[in-house]
């Protein structure tokens, strides 16, 4: 990890470079490089042992020119306000690149759900909503799950909002459980979305996915479903890394003959932590958590946190790697990006690769508004269409203008948001 790393500075640096290329005027730049509104608040919780603990929460609304703010809420012990600012900014570009009528927002709570009972987590969820209820809503700002939050958290949040507002407001949040206003396919959406774009990228590169191998960082919701679809397409996943809560470090799990997703899931906790001893029994080589990056594979899928591929480790990427698909938000620093670009590795940038989750959240809103829910096949087929269309638009622009994929994606998103802001007379 790069210790000096500041994700919001990185998001602004990425923005500034593209704003320059697009010759955006100063006012628009100033507006788009900062969030529209920030909420910082305390969430006091009566813990199970009778003490009161105060958790720090954030909701940051980056931009709403194209529609209500949209984006998840993370629970993480290392959460910082600058991380939430960056993630909020990236949500704006993410919704714009897949062309859904939503803006960007993000929330976070500094906490570690590993050490919290269900009741304590429920209190955090409810306290979070009490702090911001007047500033969110189906047409204002719509949260969703993210790192270490899940559909159960979303129901508690929705319920608290409905108690405050009086009435039923399923549209206030997405990622709800199926049967409670949630969409089929939402759980799979982000990971599958990553793989739809990998499939398209390989097609464009003239590579048969059946001949490829991949290494994944993280074994949470995104990674698990990305591996699932990759295997369905005939690819071979040989390595996956995950966080080990007991040791407070991560490990990589390697099997040259191909990992068996189902067997690994059986020995994985709800946070995506794989049991090391059992993995060894099953024939996995367990090594350092950074080893996922140095595997001799065709595809790398960082699907954990930001700041994972940086100046100090980028040169350890194997010569064989042809494609990096960013399942996580902000996994690659600009310094590493430069090296990757020079090496000619194809990159599917984060806010394009992982846009499947929010696209399915948008489908959840559409279905909720109609009060008519689609089959899983229908959801996934619409998701595939949306991701493929977004990938193709970015790829075509990158070919036409000879741009790095990340720059092409940024150009499309920033132009769309700048135009919407102008149309509204905001800038
Ligand atoms: N947290 C997901 C993301 O980073 C999904 C956001 C949403 O569905 O609003 O894209």
- The CATH number of whichever domain residue 51 belongs to comes to 3.40.50.10860
Residue 390 placed within a domain: no
Query: Which element (helix H / strand E) includes 106?
Result: strand 104-109
Q: Which parts of 206-355 fold into alpha helices (H)?
A: 221-232, 261-266, 276-281, 334-342, 350-353
- Indicate whether residue 221 lines ligand 1 (CB < 6 A): no
Distance 354 CA to ligand 1 centre (A): 8
**299, pLDDT greater than 80:** yes
Specify whether the CB–CB gap between 421 and 96 falls below 8 A. no
Residue 393 placed within a domain: no
Residues 240, 324, single domain; the answer is yes
Residues 344, 252, single domain; the answer is yes
Residue 51 placed within a domain: yes
Residues 166, 264, single domain; the answer is no
Residue 85 placed within a domain: yes
Residue 221 placed within a domain: yes
pLDDT of residue 86: 98
Q: What residues act catalytically? A: 106
Give residue-wise pLDDT tens across range 129-156: 999 999 999 999 999 999 999 999 999 9
pLDDT of residue 94: 98
Residues 155, 209, single domain; the answer is no
Which of residues 353, 374, 399 is at a domain's end?
353
The Cα–Cα gap between 407 and 125 comes to: 37
Q: Which parts of 111-248 fold into alpha helices (H)?
A: 118-132, 151-165, 186-205, 221-232
- Indicate whether residue 154 lines ligand 1 (CB < 6 A): no
Residues 284, 205, single domain; the answer is yes
Residue 322 placed within a domain: yes
Average pLDDT, the chain: 97
SS3 category, 80: coil
Q: Which of 79, 153, 151 is closest to 329 using CA atoms?
A: 79
Residues 107, 46, single domain; the answer is yes
Which of residues 353, 377, 408 is at a domain's end?
353
Which of residues 176, 198, 232 is at a domain's end?
176
Gap between the terminal Cα atoms of the chain: 38
> Could you tell me the CATH number of the domain that includes residue 210?
3.40.50.720
Indicate the top mutation candidate among 357, 360, 368, 379 to test ligand 1's pocket, ranked by most ligand atoms within 8 A of CB: 357
**1, pLDDT greater than 70:** no
Query: Which element (helix H / strand E) includes 75?
Result: strand 69-75
Query: Which element (helix H / strand E) includes 302?
Result: strand 299-302
pLDDT of residue 4: 79
Residues 196, 309, single domain; the answer is yes
pLDDT of residue 225: 98
pLDDT of residue 2: 61
Residue 300 placed within a domain: yes
Residues 204, 323, single domain; the answer is yes
Residues 317, 338, single domain; the answer is yes
Distance 414 CA to ligand 1 centre (A): 19
Distance 272 CA to ligand 1 centre (A): 18
Domain range holding 125?
36-176
Q: What is the mean pLDDT of residues 173-188?
A: 97
Q: What is the chain's length?
A: 427
Residues 321, 207, single domain; the answer is yes
* CA-based radius of gyration for the chain: 20
**109, pLDDT greater than 70:** yes
Total domain count, the chain: 2
Residue 6 placed within a domain: no
Q: What is the mean pLDDT of residues 317-331?
A: 98
Residues 203, 327, single domain; the answer is yes
pLDDT of residue 17: 97
Residues 216, 137, single domain; the answer is no
């Amino acid at each position: 990890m790069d210790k000096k790393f500041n994700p919001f500075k990185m998001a602004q640096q990425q923005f500034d470079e593209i704003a320059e290329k697009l010759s955006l005027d100063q006012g628009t730049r100033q507006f788009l490089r900062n969030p529209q509104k920030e909420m910082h608040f305390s969430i006091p919780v009566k813990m199970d042992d009778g003490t009161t603990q105060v958790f720090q929460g954030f909701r940051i609304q980056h931009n709403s020119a194209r529609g209500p703010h949209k984006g998840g809420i993370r629970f993480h012990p290392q959460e910082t306000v600058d991380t939430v600012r960056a993630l909020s900014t990236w949500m704006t570009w993410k919704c714009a690149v897949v062309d859904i009528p939503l803006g960007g927002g993000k929330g976070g709570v500094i906490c570690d759900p590993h050490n919290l009972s269900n009741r304590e987590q429920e209190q955090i969820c409810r306290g979070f909503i009490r702090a911001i209820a007047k500033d969110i809503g189906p047409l204002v700002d719509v949260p969703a799950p993210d790192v270490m939050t899940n559909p159960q958290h979303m129901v508690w949040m929705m319920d608290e909002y409905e108690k405050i507002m009086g009435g039923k407001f399923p549209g206030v949040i997405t990622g709800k459980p199926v049967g409670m206003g949630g969409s089929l396919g939402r759980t799979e959406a982000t990971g599958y979305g990553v793989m739809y774009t990998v499939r398209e990228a390989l097609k464009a590169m003239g590579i048969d996915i059946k001949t490829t191998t991949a290494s994944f960082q993280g074994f949470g919701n995104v990674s698990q479903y990305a591996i699932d679809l990759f295997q369905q397409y005939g690819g071979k996943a040989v390595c996956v890394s995950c966080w080990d809560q007991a040791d407070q470090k991560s490990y990589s799990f390697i099997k040259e003959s191909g990992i068996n997703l189902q067997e690994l899931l059986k020995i994985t906790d709800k946070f995506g932590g794989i049991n090391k001893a059992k993995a060894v029994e099953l024939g996995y080589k367990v090594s350092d958590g950074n080893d996922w990056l140095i595997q001799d594979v065709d595809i790398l899928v960082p699907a954990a946190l930001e700041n994972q591929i940086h100046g100090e480790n980028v040169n350890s990427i194997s010569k064989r790697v042809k494609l990096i698909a960013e399942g996580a938000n902000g996994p690659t620093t600009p310094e590493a990006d430069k090296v990757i670009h020079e090496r000619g590795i194809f990159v599917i940038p984060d806010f394009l690769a992982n846009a499947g989750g929010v696209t399915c959240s948008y489908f959840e809103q559409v279905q909720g508004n109609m009060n008519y829910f689609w089959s899983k096949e229908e959801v996934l087929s619409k998701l595939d269409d949306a991701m493929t269309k977004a990938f193709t638009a970015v790829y075509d622009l990158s070919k036409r203008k000879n741009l790095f994929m990340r720059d092409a994606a940024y150009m499309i998103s920033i132009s769309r948001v700048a135009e919407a802001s102008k149309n509204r007379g905001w800038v």
